[in-house]
Amino acid sequence: MTRPLGVILAGGLATRMGGGDKGRLPLGDGTLLTHVTARLAPQVDAMALNANGDPARFADTGLPVLADSIDGYAGPLAGVLAGLDWAAEQGATHVVSAAADTPFFPRDLVERLLIAAQRDGTGIALAATLDPQRGAMRQPTFGLWPVALRDDLRAALESGLRKVVLWTDTHNAATASFLPAPHDPFFNVNTPDDLAQAEQLLETAP
């Protein structure tokens, strides 16, 4: 398999941060979004940004901006679908999604997702944090998605489905588990306190 394309999911409303584009929040010498793009770019052949509203506000990123094709802020699956439709236009077979508010995700995310999908013989793989007590805690905004399932996903969204794992479970999604050491690699910024914690983590993140 050739390397997949990447889609950064930034289509949420960021209500707990007071609205706006959460990925634009400052972190270290950049923003949440610049940290995410720096981690994802070496792992994929090309990237796009899933965001709604005026795409011109992201012109400085140099990334294609993909709006949801499903109305009403239908959640991360709508962003995945936008990425799959874009990937189909590029002739790609798979997309890997990453959230715009999760700046420390693994640098081997794509490799591990591909290995998990091949191991289990499935087209979809989700990342997970391996919790010692609770087992694998899936991270549904970080996944490998086959372009071949985009019409199936579109039909599911149009029928009202919104929860990622309800759809991925119907396709026997594989899981790629990551250890939470020295911190949860899928720590995401939802509140101002989270952003302050991200600044602290930035000093220790490998």
Q: Does the annotation place 68 within a ligand binding site?
A: yes
Residue 182: cis peptide before it, omega within 30 degrees of 0: yes
Residue written as token pair 């939802």: 190
- Tell me the HSE value of 53 on the side-chain side, using a 13 A CA sphere: 12
Q: What is the H or E stretch that residue 84 is in?
A: helix 76-90
Q: Does the annotation place 163 within a ligand binding site?
A: no
Q: Rounded CA gap, 130 and 177, in Å?
A: 6
Q: Got the DSSP string for 116-168?
A: HHHHHT-S-EEEEEEETTTEEEEEEEEEEEEGGGHHHHHHHHHTT---HHHHH
Q: Does the annotation place 22 within a ligand binding site?
A: yes
Q: Does the annotation place 108 within a ligand binding site?
A: no
Cα 123 to Cα 45, 145, 162, distances in angstroms: 18, 7, 20
Contact 185, 105 (CB under 8 A): yes
Give the three-class secondary structure for 96: strand
What is the separation of C-alpha 198 from the centre of its chain, rounded to a whole number of angstroms?
A: 18
Q: Which residues are annotated as a binding site?
A: 9-11, 22, 50, 68, 101
Can you say which residues are annotated as belonging to the binding site for Mg(2+)? Answer: 101
Please give the annotated binding residues for GTP, written as ranges: 9-11, 22, 50, 68, 101
